[in-house]
Amino acid sequence: MRYTIFGESHGPAIGVTLEGVPAGLALDWDFIRAELKRRAPGQDDTSTPRREADEVEILSGVFEGRTTGTPLCAVIRNTDTRSRDYSKLRDMPRPGHADYTGQLRYGGYNDYRGGGHFSGRLTAPLVFAGAVAKLALGERGVTVTARVSNIGGISEPTPEQARARILEAKREGDSVGGCVRCTVEGMPAGRGAPDFGCNVEGIFSQYLFAIPAVKGIAFGAGFGFAAMQGSEANDPFCLEGGAVRTATNHTGGVNGGITNGMPVEFEVVFRPTPSISKPQRTVSLSAMEERELVVEGRHDPCVVLRAVPVVEAAAALAACQVLGLD
C-alpha cells in the first residue's frame, strides 16, 4: 500500500492517501479508533498537553463500510493549536529539528508552526494507514506488535521506570530518547530479494525512517553481532511440525534480504525530542548572528511511548509491500 501523508501540524487538517488497498476490506472502526488513541497526545504528563480528538473523515475509497480498491483518502482535523508559540522559530531554528533544513529545502516557504510537515503530529494519519494495513494483514495471518525496549538508557523498563525517567527529564527542562522493538509474525519464507528495492530489510527501513525522530534501525541481534562469534550468531536450522525453522532468531527473520519464515524482528531508536526549554545555541538567520534560544510551546519530553503504534503502523505498511498486497 503506497501512501502519501499531507498537511501541517497547525494547518486545518492532516491526512493520508492510500493506494493499492485491497477491494472489499471491512474497516473495523472500533479497532482503528483504538489504534489512534494509543498514539494520541494529552493523555498524561509524559506527553504534550495538546489535545486532539483524531476523528477520521473518509473522503474516498470506502463505500458501505468496505474499501472500493480505489485510492483511500482520509483527513483528521486539527482543533487544538497555539501557533504564536512558534513565531520566533522562522528566524532561529531549533537545534536538532528540521526547522533549518526545511527552510533550505523549500526556500523559506515552509509552514514552520509546530514543525509544520515535519511534526510528530503527522504520525496520526500514518497510524490510520497502518491500521488499515493491519486489517489487510490479518486476513493473511500476519500480526504486528511492538513494545518499548529502552527509555533514557534504561533497558526493558517497567512502566513505572519509564514514567519516572521521562518526568525527571521534564523537570529539568530536558528530554530523553529510547527504543521500540517490533515483531512481525506470520511472514512466509521466500519473500524479498537481495537487490535494491526488493531487500526486505531495505523495505522496512524505508518505511521506518519516514517516522520523525527515528535515527537508527537494527534487525535481530543488530549491533550485538559485533560482540558475537559465528558459532553464537548463526541460527541453527531445525524442523517444527514438518516446517523448516531456526532454533534462534538472531538474524531477525531475514537472510540475504529474503524472509526465512521466522518472525521479522527489529529495534528502532528515537532521538530525544529537540524542543526543550533549556537554553540552546542557535543562529539568527536574518542577522546571521549566534543567539540563545529557549523553546516555548507544548512538547513531548519523550516521544517513545506514543511511538509504539507508529512503529507498528510503518511495519504493517512495509509488510504489505513485502507480501505484495497491491
- Residues that constitute the known binding site for NADP(+): 39
Which three-class secondary structure state does DSSP give residue 216?
A: strand
Residues flagged as binding site: 39, 117-119, 256, 298
C-alpha angle 198-318-181 in degrees, rounded to nearest 5: 115
Alpha-carbon distance of 293 to 243, in angstroms, equals 59
Q: What DSSP designation does 114 have?
A: G
Distances (CA, A) of 224 to 78, 233, 251: 42, 9, 11
Residues flagged as binding site for FMN: 117-119, 256, 298
Q: What single string gives the DSSP state of each residue in 233-276?
A: HS--EEEETTEEEES--TTTTEETTEE-SSPEEEEEEEPPPS--
Alpha helices (runs of H) in the chain, residue ranges in sequence order: 29-39, 99-105, 123-138, 159-171, 200-208, 230-233, 304-323
Place of cell 501523508: 5
Grid cell listed for 218: 537494527
Alpha-carbon distance of 219 to 198, in angstroms, equals 16
Alpha-carbon distance of 73 to 71, in angstroms, equals 6
Say how many Å lie between the first and final Cα of the chain, rounded. 6
Among 148, 103, 102, 95, smallest CA distance to 279 is for 95
How many other CB atoms are found less than 10 A from the CB of residue 30? 7
Which three-class secondary structure state does DSSP give residue 224?
A: helix
Helix (H) or strand (E) holding 184: strand 178-185
